[in-house]
Every structure is written in structure tokens, then in C-alpha cells.
Amino acid sequence: MFILNMFKSLLGSLGLYKKNAKILFLGLDNAGKTTLLRRLKDDRMVQHDPTLHPHAEELVLGNVRFKAFDLGGHQAVRKTWKNYFPTVDGIIYLVDSADSQRLKESRDELEQILNTAELAKVPIVILGNKIDKPGAVPEEELRQALGINVKQQINNKNIKEIDGRPVDVFMCSVANRVGYAEGFRWLSQFLN
Ligand SMILES: Nc1nc2c(ncn2[C@@H]2O[C@H](COP(=O)(O)OP(=O)(O)OP(=O)(O)O)[C@@H](O)[C@H]2O)c(=O)[nH]1
Ligand SMILES: [Mg+2]
């Protein structure tokens, strides 16, 4: 415990241990936001009712401690997302990559986020979830469907951006525990 605390304070003094970075989990209903939060919190996969009331959890991943806000994705509650935009440090945007019927709807919501002036500098991780399901679209197709391929540029640090804001796509399966850790690792470089 002593060693752990020393380690933490060392990271803290290096500025690598950011306390309470505020991360939002956004995306359409059924994308897997609550499932991901549970997975990160206690490594469980449980069925949840659709989220009506936002809830937050403190998480530590790698050397970043953050507070994750899981917001409901149903259309009626999407309008409450903006209440969480002030002081946000990063966005995890989940997409059900096996639900090709709703990719357009997901693109529209993502576009609104990209066009929100308040979020202009906030890095966005797009998680193409549920790749374990038959019919999940591959990354390239997801990028096309979300319309981010055409807009992305690579900056001089080799980071993909849209309008000067880091945005990248990571395919994952929360069910099978693959892919999302890379997304969080990528995000953590912007949270120091
Ligand atoms: N096959 C598969 N199913 C998944 C995966 N991740 C989540 N699910 C399922 O997708 C469904 C919706 O998951 P939730 O986490 O409740 O979705 P949500 O984004 O929180 O939805 P709202 O709260 O309505 O916004 C559940 O039945 C999950 O078990 C995955 O990686 N693979
Ligand atoms: Mg939910």
C-alpha cells in the first residue's frame, strides 16, 4: 500500500496522474455504454435496463484516474448530454458496429458533437463495439458510414484529427474484453 501510494505520488509529481479527468460515455441507446462502464469498474458483464438517469463512476486506468459519466442514449435523454459538456476532458463515443440500420443515426449524433463549439478541443475516442457479433462492419466501413474518413487529417505528431481535435476509431468487443483498452490508452495521452 505504501509503495502504491509512493508510486501514485511520483506519477502525480510528474503530472502523469491526473485526478478526476472527466470523461463522457456517449452514443445511441443500446451501443453498450453501461456495459463498458461495468466492465471497467468490476469486470462484469451484466444486463442493464436502458439508462434513464446518468450515473458516474471513479475509474483508474493505467496512470489516469477519471470520472466516467454514463449517459442514456435514448433520443429523449440525448438532449441532456449538453449539461455535461462544460469542463469535459474526453469523450468515448460508442457505436454498435453490428447495427448497420442505425449507423446513420449514430453519425448524426456524432456530427452534432463534432459541431459543438464548447467541445472544440475535446479528444474523441470512437469505439466500434460488438465486433463479436455476426454482421459487425469492419473498421473501414464504420469510418465511411460515420463520415469521418474524409475529414480526418494527420498532424505532425502522427495523431489523427478533425478540425485540430484528436479523433480516432477503435474496434472493440466489450463482451470479449478486446479493443477498448487501446482506445483509453490513446485518450490518456491527452489527459496529462
Ligand atoms: N454481443 C455483444 N453485445 C454487447 C456488447 N456490449 C454490449 N452488448 C449488449 O448490448 C446491449 C445494450 O448494452 P447497454 O450497455 O445497456 O447499452 P447503453 O449504451 O448503455 O444503452 P442506453 O442506456 O439505452 O443508452 C446489452 O444487451 C449488452 O449486453 C458486445 O461487445 N457484444
Ligand atoms: Mg446505458
**Helix, strand, or coil (residue 79):** coil
Q: Rounded to whole angstroms, how far apart are CA atoms 64 and 192?
A: 8
Tens-place pLDDT, residues 64-82: 788 999 999 999 999 999 9
CB-ligand 1 contact for 106 (6 Å cutoff): no
CATH of the domain at 96: 3.40.50.300
Q: Is 138 in the pocket of ligand 1 (CB under 6 A)?
A: no
Contacts of 58 (CB under 8 A, 6+ apart): 20, 65, 66, 67
Give the Å distance between the CA of 32 and the centre of ligand 1.
3
Q: What are phi and psi of 73, to 5 degrees?
A: -105, -5
Is 130 annotated to bind a ligand? Reply is yes
Residue 87's domain comprises: 2-188
The cell numbers describing 10, all together, are 511520483
Where the chain has pLDDT below 70, the residues are: 1-19, 192
Distance CA 11, CA 8 (A): 5
116 is in an annotated binding site: no
What is the ipTM, given to two decimal places?
0.99
Backbone angles phi, psi at 43, to 5 degrees: 55, 35
With the most atoms of ligand 1 within 8 angstroms of its CB, the residue from 25, 30, 81 to mutate is 30
Q: Does the annotation place 90 within a ligand binding site?
A: no
Instruction: Please give the tally of structural domains in the chain.
Output: 1
